[in-house]
Structure 1
């Protein structure tokens, strides 16, 4: 007797499960790096050992975010390049003039510098701009309001980041005072980059982004509480 029972397709189910496993793996790797960094910076006798891995952590975070970006089109790559270059040169102008964020200088933690500015700062601006932009896609808002919310998310992260950055030689401020201009400048630059993010056409969905933003926020807030 012929079996006429139809077999349901399993490929999409297998693919979805594989995607979930990849996501859990990526989250686990990032959690391991951040927990190790938190314990090393907050509780060890030699935080400098852990600080040398900050550039690696930034590159790892960016690499994993890119891995979960659907359909990495030429428009997406152009967004990445423009954001990194713009973020880097905004900081160059900021360091040289003090007009954008106040007077500050970069330390050694973020690695190799050009024009007195770490190359990794462009990577950092890309991670933050991309993450905030993706997060705002969950909100039923028009484009410009999304950009405003994205800029607020970035300023909120900077508030948590600043005390830690100063303590661990990411950068230092004139007279050891974080100026209000810094947060105003962050908001303005972030807003411009968020508007740009909204205008570029690519798929704006990434399941790893909420985890990355929350992890970084908790990491810097937790270390800040230890200072």
Structure 2
């Protein structure tokens, strides 16, 4: 399949996911429950995973995409097992809602979404490099100093997701913190744990990329998809929090997630403008 065809497929899946999210929000606000519909649930949870696979294969290569997903999923799984056992890594003891498909007592959706969230954060951070037309740090450029900064940024971007998501999931009863905590009944250590899991995954991967750089030929504009996905996720959380009258959470969550999205989108528009402006010059040069 040609790169342009792959990009079109990725965009089509993204648009389908938007439709599914819109339907879920609309039905929820009308007071109906659609979570129990197996087909809809598979679409709602499965489309982001499919999008993750295809997008990572395009931006990283098939081999590196698989490696990233396995690394993120297994790291998340191991940390969840440890967290369920003694509560240290995430700052307290917690239990998941019963009647879920699990892997070593960890819901399978949680394992997969560690990969989805970490990859989204990794791409969002990378988008700033792309919009400035900079390559990821690599051994040829001798810019190892940049790697730790990107890793920390990855961690902060992913933690922002959980700052918004965790209180909603606790309110809905999808998991329970047994000892509670100061942040909407959630221990602060939970967010430290999320930061650690993320920087372990992206740290290992970014250092691997640094010493083994590989350039993929593809339309870099698809980096905007994880950026938009991150923004839509924040708005989806905001609407859900509004339904539960968690107004303080809306302020905290949107303040944590949206500024990064807005900045990336603005830089993307600048990137597109520069690309479009350069195109006529290239065409004239070819004619000469």
TM-score normalised to structure 1 length: 0.80
Question: Deviations for 1:134-160, whole angstroms, at most 9, x for unmatched residues?
Answer: 111133581111111111111111111
1:65 and 2:52 equivalent?
A: yes
Greater shift after overlay, 205-214 or 173-182? 205-214
Show the counterpart of 1:113.
102
Distance verdict in 2 for CA 1:51–1:166, change over 3 Å: farther
Query: Structure 1 runs of 4+ off > 4 angstroms?
Result: 18-21, 50-56, 202-206
SS at match of 1:100: coil
Aligned equivalent of 1:138, options 115, 124, 127: 127
Displacement after TM superposition at 1:209 (Å): 1.5
1:157 and 2:161 equivalent?
A: yes
SS at match of 2:128: coil
Aligned equivalent of 1:213, options 230, 237, 240: 230
Q: Point out which structure has higher relative CO (alpha carbons under 8 A, 6+ apart).
A: 1
Distance verdict in 2 for CA 1:100–1:156, change over 3 Å: same
**Between Structure 1 and Structure 2, how many residues are aligned?**
212
1:169 and 2:158 equivalent?
A: no
Aligned equivalent of 1:27, options 14, 24, 42: 14
Q: How does 1:173-192 map to 2 (within 5 A)?
A: 173-176=177-180, 177-192=185-200
Displacement after TM superposition at 1:26 (Å): 2.1
Distance verdict in 2 for CA 1:180–1:67, change over 3 Å: same
SS at match of 2:176: strand
Distance verdict in 2 for CA 1:131–1:180, change over 3 Å: same
RMSD (Å) for aligned C-alpha atoms: 2.7
Separation in 1 of the partners of 2:111 and 2:232?
20
The answer as to whether partners of 2:86 and 2:93 remain within 8 angstroms in 1 is yes
SS at match of 1:139: helix
Question: Deviations for 1:94-140, whole angstroms, at most 9, x for unmatched residues?
Answer: 1111111121111148x301332112212101011111111111335
Greater shift after overlay, 193-202 or 86-95? 193-202
1:196 and 2:204 equivalent?
A: yes
TM-score normalised to structure 2 length: 0.65
Q: Which ranges in structure 2 are unaligned for 5 or more consecutive residues?
A: 130-136, 138-145, 245-288
